[in-house]
Structure 1
Amino acid sequence: MKNLWNSIVNSFKSIKSWSDFAKKANLTIEVIRRIVLYSIAGLAIILSLAIGLGMGYVSALTNQVDVPSKHQMQTELQDVNNSATLYFANGEKVESLQKDLEGKKIPLSEMSPYLKKAIVSTEDSDFYRHKGVVPKSIFRAIISDITGIGAQTGGSTLTQQTVKMQMLSSETTWKRKAVEIFLAMRVDKYFSKDQILEDYLNAATFGRNNKGQNIQGVQAASKGLFGKNASELNLAESAFIAGLPQSPSIYTPYDYRGRLNDDLSLGMKRKDIVLYRMYRDNQITESQYNSARKFDLKNDFQKTAKASTKKIKYGYVYNLLTEQARNILIKRLVKSDGLKYSDVAKDENLYKNYSTQADNELHNKNYKIHSTIDKKMYIAMNQQAQQFKGNLGTVHTDNATDPTTGKPVKISEPVQNGSVMLDNSTGQVLAFVGGVNFKKSQNNHAFNTKRSPGSSIKPLITFAPAIENGVIGSQTMLADFKTSFHGYSPTDYGQTIQNRFVSARETLEESYNIPSVNLYNELINRDISSKKYMSKMGINLSNKEYKQLGITLGGTANGVTVLQQASAFSTFANKGVHVDPYVVTDVQDPAGKTIYKHKGSSKRVFSKQTSYIIKNMLHGVVTKGTASALSYEANFSTKNLFGKTGTSNDYRDNWFIGSTQGVTIASWIGYDNFYGNNYNLASNSTDLNQELWANMANALYKEDQDAFRVKESFERPAGVKSYKVDKETGTYTGSIGYNGITTKVNQHTTNSLYYKGSPKEMSYSDFAIGGKDKNYKLFWDNYFGRDNGYSVVKQLGSNTKSADELANENGSGRTSGFSNSTNSNQSSEVTTNSNTTTNSSGNRTNSTTSNGTSETGTGSGAGAGSGSGAGSGNESSSNGSDSSSSSTGSESDTSTGDTVSTSPETGNTPTE
């Protein structure tokens, strides 16, 4: 350009006559003309490219959208004043979600003509002339959005606004805008202007009414603000309502309590703007305009009123399905925006934004959420929990400080229960108990509370991996003597030690701790990781936790949920295959289209052989071990029932998990201790929890016997080997040298089941895992007749309870001796061919958290696990400001304990 300019200047300097000047001037003008033309052409090309790229981008975005049919669009456009509906498994309605918006749909003919004119003049004066969109407005909005210059109008027509409200989520991405434009043109093609206007006036939000409720639609606005129908509105009232949609929270005359705001000036100014636009568009005369501006609206506003409350039944189901449906919609919204859910979950603000969008969808659109929850079973299970809650333990009352308000409150701490019933083969949650009093604590103790699993984790984390890897057979001996692992000294229940060798089978049956720790230590020494098995079953623990020996006794950092434990335990019933548990089967959008359908997922965790052997061993828990009371408390055959108890330190948590071929039922009890209290269960908690479990199982069995499949045996698969072994050593029978004499050892025999490996040869030592030289000497001296204290239970610490008392606390009537579980050659193997029915009744349960050991055992020192839950309750807390000392409550025997009154106008819906 510089050279061009210099050339022009030099050219003019060389002018010698007017003819030269004319020639030079013409040349200059031609050059400038060409520059302008080339510039215009260049800009046109660039603009064409931009438009082409833009159209291509819009086309690419809209190509990803499923083109809705006319019926689908009509359904979604007219879906107002609705909310999602939750359903039980049989299709029966649980409840509709509490609506965020109060409203009533009416036809256009029942709306004031002033109101229709006011909305059109204010929101879209070209409404009756355009085809759904106004290109110049869109272009202006894009330039404004890119440059930040000009009013942020958005360029949306009434048609676009209706599409956005009824058919799209509220995110503000370019993709959503492109889809909005596409759908708006499609809507304009299929529906009349009056139909679109009617849909808009019924769907738009108008702030709050005199009850503090958020309102939707002009009928709700008319009634809530002025106490009249939409057809009766005068010009000033119509203009005020028409001005609200631009910014309802700013212009609304009422606050969240339904009180009239002191300053109404912004709403009044907005009303005058609407009137001016109506006058400008020749919709009203000048006299009408002036008269309406002077009209005193303040005296027209309604006085504050109280909204009615609504009872929600099945509060735990309501909250659970709402939470899960929200998560499903969040993932769907994230996917539609081309993002990864894992990335969004890491960004707190972004996740919160998607969560809000999903909530708006659920509370304002007619989604249908279908679940696996069997209504009859749910009621039956919860009725038993309500009837039995008075037996679970003391209801403590105390003064505390509300963490939210900082004010003193009086609280009550009942023993809580969380229970789950799973269908083993499908993973469906058929029923659950979320807690004993939904009104006082909405925390779902079955799904959300994480607590120490106590000894219920032993089969999962230790014994099944040991069998799978050929470390043990069912009669392999484990040492139960006083021991220490670098300062960590586990004990059995009541700070006792059995002072003998115990078989793997008996260890599970009586839930001894020291043998379990010895076995887990052996797995670590052999570099056998339990992590891969636990992770496949849905329980994820840290590497640090797996390195601590106390993990085999439930000493976790954060604990596990009842659902996780039940689901993991069901792996054994499924012949070693874990099926992911689920509650929501499918979700349908307002148009009836299925947008989510559960897809089952399963993983092979253990072999069929290992699973059979574990079931065989755990059957002894219910026939002769810590849950032997079930043999007479259950109203169904227990010949194919297997289970495991679990108690964490100081009776903080108590568990029982039991399985048949068809179902797994898990029950946990314990105190929440949300306010820093340290309440523990009673010492007979194991018995209490078993009776509660039996009561629930009996009621569930009565509802659906086929689901239990109690008559189906656990078939012994090929590959399970049974070896005849010496009962006292777990090895083949044979001879040893004792005091210089070779002696044959074959006095008592039994069968030991193996998947991999086989029994050891008879030897003086090394036949037991964790055994030491002094332990073997004590054993053989006793075996050959010396009364040296072998197998006499020893008690450590200051506990002075008798052995019988300690055994009863552990849920077992026995305290010591070889014959606890090895008194027959069959060694408690499962028999399944006869159907024996036993009778009911019984009553025991308890629960708490641990720091390294379980079954009320203790541990100390560096190796101890850190414990879990510690009574702090890892989820939401009860805000219960009122106390109760009665554990039975005021509900009748048919109560499920989860019915609550809510105030929809203030958003006081049940929360997780």
Structure 2
Amino acid sequence: MEITHTKRKKNLRNKIIRDVFFVIVSVGIIGVALLTGWIATLNLPDFNNFENRDISNSTKIYDRTGKIVLYNIHDNVRRTEIPFEEISPYIRQATISIEDAHFYEHNGFRPTSFVRAMLANLQSGGFSQGGSTIDQQVIKNALLTRDKTITRKLKEIILSLKLDAQVPKDTILQMYLNESPYGGTLYGVEEASASFFNKHAKDVTLPEAAYLAALPQAPTYYSPYGKHRDMLDKRKNLVLQRMQELGYITELEKVAAQNEVVNFDTDVSNSGKALHFVMYIREYLEEKYGADAVQNSGLKVITTIDYPLQKQLEDIVKEGALLNEKKFKAENAALIAIDPRSGQILSMVGSRDFFDKEIDGQYNITTALRQPGSSFKPIVYAAAFRSGYTPETILFDVPTQFSTRCDAYGNPKAGASKDSCYMPDNYDGLFRGPIALRDALAQSLNVPAVKLLYLTGLSNVVKLAQEMGLSTINDPSRYGLSLVLGGGEITLLELTNAYGVFANNGIYSKPQGIIEVRDNSGDLLEKFSPVQTEVLSETVTSLVSSVLSDNTAKIPAYGSNSPLFFGDRPVASKTGTTNDYRDVWVIGYTPSVVVGMWGGNNDNTPIDKKVAGLVLAPIWHKALAAAVATSSIEYFPEPVPNTSVKPILRGEYCAGDGIHEILRYVIKDNPDGEYPLNPENDSQYDLWETGLQNWLAKHSLPCNNIPVSNPIISTTTSSQ
């Protein structure tokens, strides 16, 4: 009986166990089924082509070496993807040590870490512990929201398992290091390394790598520029401790790295370099590729900027402009340097200081329209030389009325007003009498220049200006004879580049700022190719360069110690000052570089009444000297001998019938051709002749056929 009772108890116990087991299994099956069904209803992100998904990358603008980053263009995210092998082993090891020590062992999810984090969160009543593997963090950063919910966490785990099954571990780590936040707009170790240490991610040291690994957990809190730098140092030391425990480094290496002082780049603004030029390039890129592509697709742009030279010239411009503000009330200056053989922009300084709000420093004067004053004259002289006039051609620098609506004495004719008269002065108020074109241009005399524009033809000058790249000088009907004195508006960039035609023996090169552009995969999108056109013959440009580099001819206007002179080095140059003293210019060149400068005030207020040779030439001299500092002395081609038949084109102004203006001896369009049959029919003939004969009546002029400089008559000041 006792045995039977025992059996019954045992059978009952077994039945209970079976029933409980059945219930547990049933509940488990139902639970799994319900969980599976719930998972099936989850809206999981698309995992296809995960490795090839588009992520935002910064466009980088470099100097001409491709090594110095001038600027990062980004839409709230500064990031540069790099391959696994370009990430320092120190960074990889440090990151694994602090973020996921078993990264290469698990399958994307570690239940023990997850449970440990959940228990910690239950105790704290929040989500302070993540327990996420690197795989999970990649998924969280790339595909999911930042919400801290059970649903999102479950999605994260499922996708992490899929990621680990489909993608190699090294690639997952590469993704993490390319996408992790490092503070502000910085994402990825390449951008962080460049910003903090001014180096590539492959070149960082062990302690630098430890700092980088310490940041992503809380980049704002641990910012090296914030108030918790001491906490960042502690976390860096923890990273090194973990690296030593995992066998990545030795005890000695750990101690040395913990004690090493690491300096973070103090330029926390990361505002960029050569910013006027950068914005000029950005405008071009956005016009060609679209703003979204420029901000997010990670273009690599190699520009033409010579950054060491750029930095020198920025300093020269700033120092000179600050001095000019005190001396001449000219608070701003701008500069362009161009290689005339290619059109490549070597330097662009748009103001004395990009960040100076008081002078509107971000406004790029190099691309702004300003009146050039007499710096436009070489264009007119080049057109004249192309037409057959010579540097020895004699014009008379005497008071001359040019408006046919007024008489030779400046009195308006019937129906005309006084304003319609036009009788220009020279910069110093003096007149020289007979003068060769060489001396007239070298000394920047106005009356001969206006006469030469008339002789050459306004339409011919405008046509040449267009051919030389002066896009705003495009309609002869908009201008009068004052064009030669700077009556049109031109940009410093275009006028400086136009002088490059003289430097490059008549070949125009379109100004360009880009050497190459590549996409984020390294594929070439565009490559520099010179855009060139023959505009003038070398015969003509050699004459222009000969005159503009003739220091002896310049002495009467600039003195013997002018900053326009460079000793044994031939340098051609021209100044310009507007009549209202709002703009001063100096542009000069050697065969290999053209440097143009502007000075004045952005608000168009006039400077003190001083000419460009005094205000701007000293700064320009320093700039051009810096540009040619490493170059050997170069020489311009020698001009061909003057073989003109007519005496007036050879420098002789006396003829058998007395002394007369050039209109008596030449047909404007063909000066070395036939003599005009009825020169008095020219609308300017009587005006010029009357002015000359009035001058001769007051001055004794020997008929020795030698061009003279004879400053006699004084009036008012004009432009130089």
Normalised by the length of structure 1, the TM-score is 0.48
Residue 122 of structure 1: how far off its partner (Å): 9.4
| Pair 1:692-2:654 in alignment | no
Deviations 1:541-574 (A, max 9, x none): 3426653222111112xx2222111100111121
Q: Which residue of 1 aligns with 2:656?
A: 735
2:134 aligned residue? 110
Matched residue SS, 1:661: coil
What amino acid does structure 2 have at the position aligned with 1:570? G
Q: Partners of 1:435 and 1:519 in 2: how far apart?
A: 35
Q: TM-score when scaled to structure 2?
A: 0.59
Aligned counterpart for 2:311 among listed residues 367, 371, 379 = 379
The structural deviation recorded for 1:647 is 0.5
Q: Does the CA contact (< 8 Å) of 1:566 and 1:657 recur in 2?
A: yes
Aligned twin of 1:63: none
Does the Cα contact within 8 Å between 2:399 and 2:425 map onto a contact in 1?
no
Q: Does 1:716 align with 2:649?
A: no
State the alpha-carbon separation in 1 of the partners of residues 390 and 314 from structure 2: 40
Q: Deviations over 1:330-365 (max 9, x none)?
A: 313xxxxxxxxxxxxxxxxxxxxx43x14422xxx4
- Residue of structure 2 in register with 1:519 after alignment: 452
SS where residue 592 of structure 1 aligns?
coil
Letter in 2 for 1:653: D
Partners in 1 of 2:377 and 2:53 — Cα distance? Answer: 56
Report the counterpart of residue 705 of structure 1 in structure 2.
Answer: 631
Q: Residues 499, 424 of structure 1: CA spacing in aligned structure 2 closer, same or farther, 3 A cutoff? A: closer
Residues 576 and 607, structure 1, Cα contact 8 Å, conserved in 2? yes
Q: Is the 8 A contact 1:619 1:642 kept in 2?
A: yes
Letter in 2 for 1:651: Y
Q: Distance in 2 between matches of 1:117 and 1:645?
A: 59
1:324 paired with 2:281, answer: yes
Q: 1:643 aligns with which of 559, 567, 573?
A: 573
Query: Aligned AA for 2:66?
Result: G
Number of residue pairs matched?
515
CA distance in 1, matches of 2:498, 2:608: 25
Structure 2 counterparts to residues 179-198 of structure 1, below 5 A: 192=167
- The CA distance in 2 between the partners of 1:546 and 1:767, in whole Å, is 25
Match of 1:310 among 268, 271, 294: 268
Counterpart residue type for residue 284 of structure 2: N
Question: Does 2:427 align with 1:563?
Answer: no
Evaluate the alpha carbon distance shift between residue 637 and residue 722 of structure 1 in structure 2; reply closer, same or farther with a 3 A threshold. Answer: farther
Secondary structure, in 3 states, of the residue corresponding to 2:439? helix
Conserved? CA contact 1:419–1:434, under 8 Å: yes
1:432 equivalent in structure 2: 348
State the AA in 2 paired with 1:360.
Answer: Q
- Contact 1:101–1:216 under 8 Å retained in 2: no
Deviation at 1:492, TM superposition (A): 2.2
User: Aligned pair in 2 of structure 1 residues 762, 622: CA closer, same or farther (>3 Å)?
Assistant: farther
Instruction: Report the alpha carbon displacement of residue 504 of structure 1 after superposing the two structures with TM.
Output: 2.1
Preserved CA contact (<8 Å) 2:581 2:608: yes
Counterparts in 2 of 1:84 and 1:776: CA distance versus 1, 3 Å? closer
1:872 alignment partner in structure 2 = none
Check conservation: 2:564, 2:573, Cα contact below 8 A.
no
Unaligned runs of 5+ in 1: 1-69, 130-157, 159-187, 221-227, 234-307, 333-353, 397-412, 739-744, 746-751, 800-805, 807-853, 857-912
C-alpha deviation, 1:585, in angstroms = 0.7
| 1:455 aligns to 2:374 (yes or no) | yes
CA distance in 1, matches of 2:522, 2:538: 42
Note the alpha carbon deviations across 1:656-700, whole angstroms, 9 max, x for none: 111222221111111111xxx623244254223111111222233
CA 1:581/1:630 → structure 2, altered by over 3 Å: closer, same or farther? farther
Larger relative contact order (C-alpha < 8 A, sep ≥ 6)?
A: 1
What do residues 227-255 of structure 1 show as CA deviations (whole Å, max 9, x unaligned)? x999999xxxxxxxxxxxxxxxxxxxxxx
Q: How does 1:47-66 map to 2 (within 5 A)?
A: none
Post-superposition shift, 1:453?
0.7
Asked if 1:597 corresponds to 2:527, the answer is: yes
Deviation at 1:759, TM superposition (A): 8.2
Deviation at 1:385, TM superposition (A): 2.4
Query: Cα–Cα, structure 1 residues 101 and 203, in superposed 2: closer, same or farther, change >3 Å?
Result: farther
Change (3 A) 1:506 1:699: same
Cα distance change of structure 1 residues 544 and 358 upon mapping to structure 2, 3 Å threshold: farther
Give 3-state SS (helix, strand or coil) of 1:426's partner.
Answer: coil
Q: Point out where structure 2 has 5 or more consecutive residues left out of the alignment.
A: 1-48, 82-94, 96-102, 109-132, 192-212, 219-265, 406-419, 661-665, 704-708
Give the structure 2 partner of residue 53 of structure 1: none
Match of 2:672 among 755, 758, 768: 758
Helix, strand or coil: the match of 1:392? helix
Aligned partner of 1:175 in structure 2 is none
SS at match of 1:565: helix
Q: Which amino acid aligns with 1:92?
A: K
Q: 2:719 aligned with 1:855, yes or no?
A: yes
Q: 1:536 aligns with which of 450, 457, 467?
A: 467
1:777, 1:414 → 2: CA distance?
42
Matched, 1:661 2:591: yes
Give distance in 2, aligned partners of 1:580 and 1:705. Answer: 23
- Where do 1:805-824 residues align within 5 Å? none
Deviation at 1:705, TM superposition (A): 1.8
Structure 1 728/499 Cα, relative in aligned 2: closer, same or farther at 3 Å?
farther
- Letter paired with 1:418: A
CA 1:632 to 1:358, structure 2 compared with 1: closer, same or farther past 3 Å? same
1:431 is paired with a residue of what secondary structure?
strand
Which residues in structure 2 correspond to 1:288-303 (within 5 Å)? none
Secondary structure of the corresponding residue to residue 348 of structure 2: strand
Distance 2:558 2:646 in 1: 26
The one-letter amino acid paired with 2:466 is S
1:454–1:855 contact (8 Å) kept in structure 2: yes
AA aligned opposite 1:508: L
Note if contact 2:506-2:536 (Cα within 8 Å) is conserved in structure 1.
yes
Q: CA deviation at 1:374?
A: 1.6
What is the percent sequence identity of the aligned residues?
17
> Is residue 583 of structure 1 aligned with residue 503 of structure 2?
no
Q: Distance in 1 between matches of 2:485 and 2:382?
A: 14
Q: Pick from 88, 92, 95 the counterpart of residue 63 of structure 2.
A: 88
Other-structure match for 1:344: none
Cα gap change, 1:669 to 1:504, in 2 (>3 Å): same
Which residue is equivalent to 2:413? none
Q: Verify the 8 A CA contact 1:86 1:97 in the aligned structure 2.
A: yes
Q: Which digits, 9 at most, give the CA deviation of each residue in 1:857-911, with x for residues without a partner?
A: xxxxxxxxxxxxxxxxxxxxxxxxxxxxxxxxxxxxxxxxxxxxxxxxxxxxxxx
Match of 2:339 among 423, 427, 430: 423
1:498 counterpart (431, 453, 476): 431
Following the alignment from structure 1 to structure 2, what is the Cα–Cα distance between the partners of residues 117 and 387? 49
In 2, Cα distance between equivalents of 1:585 and 1:502: 46
CA distance in 1, matches of 2:669, 2:402: 31
TM-align CA RMSD: 5.1
Q: Distance in 2 between matches of 1:111 and 1:127?
A: 9
Do 1:380 and 1:700's aligned partners in 2 also have CA atoms closer than 8 Å? no
| DSSP-derived class of the 1:447 partner | helix
Is the Cα contact below 8 Å between 1:630 and 1:694 reproduced in 2? no
Change (3 A) 1:94 1:126: closer
2:631 maps to a residue whose letter is: Q
Residues 640, 714 of structure 1: 8 Å contact kept: no
Corresponding position of 2:123: none
CA distance in 1, matches of 2:353, 2:644: 52
Q: Post-superposition shift, 1:501?
A: 3.8
Q: Is the 8 A contact 1:325 1:369 kept in 2?
A: no
Contact persistence 1:640–1:660 (CA under 8 A): yes
Q: Which amino acid aligns with 2:546?
A: N
Q: Distance in 1 between matches of 2:638 and 2:628?
A: 22
What is aligned with 2:324? 392
Distance 2:589 2:596 in 1: 9
Deviation of 1:730 (Å): 3.9
Aligned equivalents of 1:205, 1:330: Cα separation in 2? 31
Question: Retained in 2: the 8 A contact 1:507–1:516?
Answer: yes
